[in-house]
C-alpha cells in the first residue's frame, strides 16, 4: 500500500443540515423516479463505491481511489443535489474541489458526510502537494485545513495528523491503528 495523503478543509459555511436526505419525501417509500434514484444512490451505488474504496485501499491504488472519490461526488451532485438544492448546491465545496491551481496536486476529492458546504476531503499526490494545496486554499478560498497522512507498515496503518487551528498555530498528532 502506498501512503495516502489526505487534506480535509473546513469550509466555514455553517453547514446546517436541518433536512437530511433521508427525511425527504423519498423515505421510507419512494414514489417518484427521483425518489427511486435517491434510494439507489444511498443503497446499491453507495455500497459499490464503498466496496471499491476498500479494495483500492487494500491494493494501494491511491490514484484510482482519487478518481473514485470524484465519481462518488458526481453521483451525489447529479442525484441528491436536486432533491435538496437549498442545502446541497454547495458553491464553496465545488470551488474547492474544482480550484484550478490544485488540480495537478491532487488525485481527487469529495464532500464529507451529508455534503453541503461543511467539509471537503482531497486526496493529494504527496506530502509536498498536501502542503501546497493547504496554502493555496487557505490564501485563496479562506478555509482551514487538517492534514492526514496514512503510512503502511507491518500489520498496522500509521496516521499522522497535522491540524491547523487557526492556520498560524499548528498542532501535530500521531495515531497508530492496528489491524
Reference 174, options 161, 155, 165; nearest CA is 161
Look up residue 64 and give its three cell numbers. Answer: 484510482
pTM: 0.81
The CATH number of residue 127's host domain is 3.30.70.890
Residue 99: domain span: 4-178
Query: Scanning the structure block, which residue is given the C-alpha cell 427511486?
Result: 36
Taking only the tens place, the pLDDT of each residue in 29-40 is 899 999 999 999
Least confident of 83-87, 107-111, 165-169: 165-169
Taking only the tens place, the pLDDT of each residue in 24-79 is 678 788 999 999 999 999 899 999 999 999 888 888 899 999 999 999 999 999 99
Q: Report residue 158: phi and psi, to 5°.
A: -105, 130
What is the edge-to-edge ordering of all strands in the sheet holding 144-153?
Answer: 106-111, 119-124, 4-10, 144-153, 156-164, 170-178
What percent of the chain stands above pLDDT 70? 75
- Number of structural domains, the chain? 1
What is the rounded CA–CA span in Å between residue 122 and residue 66? 8
Q: Report residue 146: phi and psi, to 5°.
A: -130, 120
What is the rounded CA–CA span in Å between residue 110 and residue 97? 7
Amino acid at each position: 500500500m502506498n501512503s495516502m495523503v489526505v487534506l480535509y478543509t473546513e469550509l466555514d459555511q455553517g453547514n446546517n443540515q436541518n433536512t437530511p436526505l433521508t427525511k425527504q419525501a423519498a423515505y421510507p417509500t419512494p414514489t417518484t423516479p427521483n425518489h427511486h434514484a435517491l434510494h439507489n444512490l444511498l443503497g446499491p451505488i453507495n455500497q459499490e463505491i464503498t466496496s471499491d474504496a476498500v479494495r483500492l485501499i487494500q491494493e494501494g491504488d491511491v490514484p484510482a481511489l482519487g478518481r473514485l472519490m470524484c465519481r462518488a461526488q458526481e453521483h451525489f451532485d447529479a442525484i441528491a443535489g436536486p432533491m435538496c438544492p437549498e442545502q446541497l448546491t454547495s458553491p464553496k465545496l465545488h470551488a474547492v474541489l474544482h480550484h484550478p491551481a490544485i488540480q495537478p496536486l491532487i488525485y481527487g476529492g469529495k464532500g464529507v458526510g451529508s455534503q453541503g458546504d461543511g467539509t471537503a476531503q482531497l486526496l493529494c499526490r504527496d506530502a509536498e502537494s498536501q502542503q501546497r494545496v493547504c496554502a493555496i486554499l487557505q490564501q485563496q478560498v479562506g478555509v482551514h485545513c487538517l492534514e492526514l497522512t496514512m503510512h503502511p507498515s507491518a500489520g498496522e496503518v500509521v496516521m499522522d495528523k497535522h491540524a491547523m487551528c487557526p492556520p498560524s498555530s499548528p498542532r501535530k498528532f500521531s495515531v497508530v491503528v492496528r489491524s
